[in-house]
Structure 1
């Protein structure tokens, strides 16, 4: 299997080079890794101190890493922090603005033995963390070969994943970690079922992150004046399938203000939705704050997490398509959340738990959305749901501290 894996990585590298000739996104994936080792070696020559390496797949996993990075820096302020990304979308987003607690941001090279060995040797971390998944065999083996403490946190596995289907190559990757911190009991039991014992439940570090965002949100005075005393719905990361449900609801509730943050920021979908609305709408980039539309489309990246401060209710998109976006961000503000019906609930365990807690609601079509919305307009039902959101966040805060405390104990 190791040989098959190596051949597969080699072929993938060739395919990426060929595809990059025709597909801009693939070309960007490859070109972003040019001079990777030169940048890395120059950084370590200039900053040779103790370093903690965090590997994340993309932006969502970086958000899970941030509370752990902050806690590690609190305990060890002398540590340098390096973060590697696999996905260009995560890397591009994070490098656009300062990351005060991170000293070096890089792509992860493709997982060949030669490149992985060089990456780890050049980076020379004192400790390494992988976040949730994206477990690359050669990089993990290179860490272990260098006897560097290695941890996985925010792990959330499913029984159908290859690690649990048979013993051998892929399962062995999990056994390289000195300790795995899980988000939930299900993952803990899955790991114990394959006789992996260095495991504990720490919880989902996203709760630490969303609680921090809710405490320190960015203020938008112009939006606050526009909203006034009207009830507000914030719809975040929505796709066409979500808007097909939302537009009838919006047209039937002109008494609300609507903040819509599309996942795709190209103007065509927003133009199409505007034409279907009976309400007055505009894009945030074109909005005159003296104007008073019913709907504002947020046509930029970076505002959404703070916009939930205004919401009475949030709708989070993606469930009908590539995957549900972050429902914990609005729940962090103590508000009920609505989202589309998921096909694979196991991939998003927070969706099921939040429904059990009573702070989220799943809808399958425009009619069921209308019913849930009407339900939440009842004061008693609304307050129960909002209280459930606040309570759920409160009991889950502290995952980052639990992780670093255990790491300190293990490496002492």
Structure 2
């Protein structure tokens, strides 16, 4: 199995090299790792004992951000290195002030793992939610370097819990401690004889619970919404946008703000053709007051605004549920906004919880979307959904303090 794993890592890299001339993300992935170990070695100050945080992508960074912030606030002398697997995380957060250095993670090979750890010499390591790299984890264990997994979550269908998953279970054995999102994950780990695990919760709640007090006023959005009830649709993909087009057509008295997951020119052009007359946020200053008043669709063709946009919503829609899985629902829920999303949400504990609480609503087609939307027009039903969403977020904050207490008790900080 080890040979198959190594072959898979190699083939994945070869595939990305092959498609990189035609795929922007693959190109960034390849370019970002070119001569990466030499660049890290020439950049990192030697003689330090770093704390190494790794994130798969942007979502995981935001998930672990509250822990980073607490370390920086309470132990400002600590040196932190952050790595990303995905360009969508690295390219957006490569200049974060929460880390001393930010890099792409070199591919998971035995030689890369040894060389990387030789350079950075971490005191301890934090991974967020998932990504279990055999060589890095094994090398950390051999060097007696503490490896923590925060906001970890497991499901029965994962390979770790299959009869043929022994190799992947062996990777988990290298983790020093799991801070799990739910008690089910703790029990599942114990079932495969991993006992160094405990329920802490999801660190994302500690991040998003503060958003309503920190949201930025966006004058253009305020002007666009004016007195109209507005739907904010975040991280949308084409299947989401096709449903929203129908919803907008059936509800001309509402305004819609579409913040697509992909903002490259061809996708923005697709959205413009799909909805017809739209305003683009990047061109907002060029529109007349009459155009702004009459337009029903505002497309956000930049990044970094979504968490503040939800403040302006009456109802929110979260994209991704017709693809690999929905995007972040908590940033909307923390404002007390009901969330609607597609059918692929079961892997996300918070979405499951919001559905149970009648603050989140999963739909599979336009008929279901229309039924949910019409129900939320009822002010009593909307009020209950809003309270449920907000209370859910507030009641689940606190995972970060549990993790910080562990780090201090184990004398890993200071």
Aligned positions of 1:15-164 closer than 5 A: 15-20=15-20, 25-45=25-45, 48-95=47-94, 98-164=95-161
Contact 1:238 1:318 in 2 (8 A): yes
Tell me if the contact between 1:332 and 1:393 (Cα under 8 Å) persists in the aligned partners.
Answer: yes
Deviation for aligned residue 1:259? 0.7
Q: List alignment gaps of at least 5 residues for structure 2.
A: none
* Greater displacement, 324-333 / 6-15: 6-15
CA contact (8 A) 2:146 2:176 kept: yes
Q: Which residue of 1 aligns with 2:343?
A: 341
Q: Is the 8 A contact 2:48 2:121 kept in 1?
A: no
Q: How does 1:266-277 map to 2 (within 5 A)?
A: 266-277=264-275
SS of the counterpart of 2:244?
A: helix
Distance 2:22 2:221 in 1: 42
Paired residue for 2:334, among 332, 335, 351? Answer: 332
**Aligned counterpart, 2:188:** 190
- Residues of 2 paired with 1:18 and 1:275: CA distance? 32
Shift in Å, 1:321: 1.5
Give the C-alpha shift of residue 22 in structure 1.
Answer: 6.2
Give the conservation status (yes or no) of the 8 Å contact 1:50–1:78: no
Structure 2 CA distance for partners of 1:35 and 1:391, relative to 1, 3 Å:
same
Partner of residue 388, structure 1:
388
> Per-residue CA shift, 1:198-257, capped at 9, x if unaligned?
111111111112123332112212321332222111011112211222112211222222
- Counterpart selection for 2:162 from 158, 161, 165: 165
Helix, strand or coil at the partner of 1:347: coil
CA drift at 1:4: 3.3
> What is the aligned counterpart of 2:282 among 281, 285, 288?
285
- Within 5 Å, give how 1:189-268 maps onto structure 2: 189-268=187-266
CA–CA distance in structure 1, aligned partners of residues 224 and 16 of structure 2 = 48
Compare 377-386 and 265-274 and name the one that shifted more: 265-274
How do 1:351-370 and structure 2 match up within 5 A?
Answer: 351-370=351-370
Change (3 A) 1:190 1:222: same
Mark the CA change 1:25 to 1:232 in structure 2 (over 3 Å): closer, same or farther. closer
Aligned partner of 1:295 among 294, 297, 312: 297
SS in structure 2 opposite 1:346?
A: coil
TM-score by length of 2: 0.92
Change beyond 3 A, Cα 1:170–1:396: same
Distance 1:274 1:9, change over 3 A: closer
SS in 2 for 1:140: helix
8 Å Cα contact 2:242/2:274 also seen in 1: no
Contact 1:149 1:411 in 2 (8 A): no
Deviations 1:89-147 (A, max 9, x none): 2111212xx41211110011111111101101101111101111111111111212221
Change (3 A) 1:357 1:23: closer
How many Å separate the matches in 2 of 1:16 and 1:267? 23
Give, in whole Å, the separation in 2 of the partners of 1:8 and 1:268: 32
Between Structure 1 and Structure 2, how many residues are aligned? 406
Contact (CA 8 Å) 1:244, 1:366: kept in 2 or not?
no
Shift of 1:264: 2.5
Aligned partner of residue 78 in structure 1, secondary structure:
coil
Contact 1:183-1:203 within 8 A present in 2 as well: yes
The answer to whether the 8 Å contact 2:280/2:299 transfers is: yes
Name the CA shift for 1:346/1:382 in 2 (closer, same or farther; >3 Å): closer
In the alignment, is the contact (CA less than 8 A) between 1:53 and 1:129 conserved in 2?
yes
Q: Which runs of 5+ in 1 are unaligned?
A: none
